[in-house]
Amino acid sequence: MLGLIGFKAPLTSLKREDWVQDLRGEHLLSGLKLMSVKTLTIDGVDVAIEEGSTVLAAAKAAGVRIPVLCHLDGISDVGACRLCLVEIRGIRKLLPACVTEVAEGMEIHTHTPEIDEYRKMIVELLFSEGNHVCAVCVSNGNCELQDMAIEVGMDHTRFSYNFPQREVDISHPQFGIDHNRCILCTRCVRVCDEIEGAHVWDVAGRGADARVITGLNQVWGEVTACTACGKCVDACPTGSIFRKGSTVEEMVHDHSKLEFLVTAREKRQWLR
């Protein structure tokens, strides 16, 4: 199946052979980009989507919800949290939907008993690995990790708590970061780099010692590159990055600001 980008004349009268002939002859459709469409099924729903799209995007198009934590619309995907793992017929291992491209004829299953069990286990591990004391968290009631626990049916963790000793940095005049609640999704890193263009955040360390850092491992308040735009605050799925002055349950993450900026940039609205 073929579709065309950027061609405004009616295409219904053209046959595939016409397009190819015209492109070869550099006539009517010269310079236009041909776009291939892939057809696949997700949980039994037929989907046709542009080549290069991710399985996650295809699932959205099909109206199938796949749980995500590190994915955020408008920024790149890194496949960090593994909550979006799906089963693809003919492939033995589970693949993350956010970084797997669609292919023709794929048969994808997003909610098998095995996947649901893995997802629950991942969320349990996230809770046991940090210090997520929801009752005293600024994001209590407005936390994607909490929501995810409810979605996967987790009411306790089967793993022992690590109780790590982690820092809280409140050196920034407006914001703070509590590393105890960080799940290393790296949304802050990507949103600051890709949308704000400030690249204040990075990940340092390996394995259990990995953590997000600001600047060259300086305290946040000393990083002059920070514009105090607050995008990382809104992107953070937990109460890890917060606005100063927020108390328990007061931190609300507003993704609509990020979506507005991304849409405006994609459509070049600021040029109008």
DSSP secondary structure code for residue 218 in this structure: B
Is residue 58 helix, strand or coil? helix
In whole angstroms, the minimum distance from the beta carbon of 208 to ligand SF4 comes to: 15
One residue of 241, 251, 258, 261 binding ligand SF4 per CB under 6 A: 241
State which residue, 70 or 261, has the beta carbon closest to ligand FES.
70
State which residue, 83 or 192, has the beta carbon closest to ligand FES.
83
In whole angstroms, the minimum distance from the beta carbon of 56 to ligand FES comes to: 7
8 CB-near residues (< 8 Å, 6+ apart) = none
In whole angstroms, the minimum distance from the beta carbon of 187 to ligand SF4 comes to: 4
Phi then psi dihedrals of residue 44, to 5 deg: 85, -5
Using CB under 6 A, list all residues that contact ligand FES. Answer: 68-71, 79-84, 96, 98
Cα–Cα separations (whole angstroms), residue 257 to 165, 171, 189, 261, 263: 33, 25, 17, 6, 10
| C-beta neighbour count of 145 within 10 angstroms | 23
In whole angstroms, the minimum distance from the beta carbon of 186 to ligand SF4 comes to: 5
Question: Measured in whole angstroms, how far is the alpha carbon of residue 44 from the centre of its chain?
Answer: 24
In whole angstroms, the minimum distance from the beta carbon of 79 to ligand FES comes to: 4
Phi then psi dihedrals of residue 225, to 5 deg: -70, -20
Binder of residue 29, out of ligand FES, ligand SF4, none (CB less than 5 to 8 A by kind): none
Residue 184 binding ligand SF4, by CB under 6 A: yes
Residue 227 binding ligand SF4, by CB under 6 A: yes
Nearest to 177 by CA among 217, 133, 223, 220: 220
> Would you tell me which residues interact with ligand SF4 (CB under 6 A)?
177, 182-188, 191-192, 196, 198, 200, 212, 226-232, 235-238, 240-241
